[in-house]
Amino acid sequence: MTNRVINPDILRPSAVSPLKVLLCSLPMLILTAFLISRGSMPVEPLKVVAFSMTYILINGLFFLMIYTGKVYHYRAILFITVAVAFIIAFGANLLEERGSMLLRTENTLAGDAPFCHLVIPAIIIPAVVTKTIIFPGTIIDRFASISGMLVLWLGASVALGRGWCSWVCFYGGLDEGFSCLCRKPVIKNIADQWRYLPWAVLLVVVLVSALTFSPAYCEWLCPFKTVTEFSAITSFKILVQTIIFLLLFISLVVVLPILTGRRIQCGLFCPFAAFQALTNKFNIFTIGINREKCVECKRCVKGCPTFSLDTVSVKQGKPLLSCTKCGKCIDNCPKQAISFRLKGIPVGVNTQSAKILFLYPAFTFAAAVGGGFIYGALIRVLKLITTGSMF
Partner 1 sequence: MRRLRVVLSYIVAVLMIVVAVAALAGSNFLAAKLVAVTGIRVSPWYTGGEVANIIEHGSYQTLIHRPVFDALIDQATEGFVQLDWQPLAALPEYIDEDIDCFGNGNIDGHIKLDTRNNIAQFTSYSSQAVSLAGSYKLKDRVTIRVVLLRD
Residues that bind partner 1 (CB under 8 A): 31, 34-35, 105-106, 108-111, 125-127, 129-141, 145-148, 150-152, 154-156, 158-160, 210-211, 213-214, 284-285, 342-345, 353-354, 357-358, 360-361, 364-365, 368
CA geometry: angle 48, 49, 52, nearest 5 deg: 85
CB of 202 to partner 1, least distance (A): 18
Q: Nearer to partner 1 by C-beta: 104 or 302?
A: 104
CB of 96 to partner 1, least distance (A): 15
Q: Nearer to partner 1 by C-beta: 138 or 228?
A: 138
Q: Nearer to partner 1 by C-beta: 11 or 41?
A: 41
Measured CA to CA, the distance from residue 197 to residue 201 in angstroms comes to 6
Q: Nearer to partner 1 by C-beta: 194 or 213?
A: 213
b/e burial code for range 3-13 (CB count within 10 A of at least 16 → b):
eeeeeeeeeee
Q: What are the φ and ψ backbone dihedral angles of 250, each rounded to 5 degrees?
A: -65, -45
DSSP letter at 253 equals I
Q: Nearer to partner 1 by C-beta: 18 or 344?
A: 344
CB of 364 to partner 1, least distance (A): 4
CB of 147 to partner 1, least distance (A): 4
* Of residues 219, 223, 224, the one with CA closest to residue 237: 219
Contacts of residue 304, Cβ cutoff 8 Å, sequence gap at least 6: 262, 319, 328, 329
CB of 124 to partner 1, least distance (A): 11
Q: Nearer to partner 1 by C-beta: 59 or 265?
A: 59
* Of residues 287, 286, 297, the one with CA closest to residue 334: 297
Measured CA to CA, the distance from residue 179 to residue 161 in angstroms comes to 23
CB of 18 to partner 1, least distance (A): 23
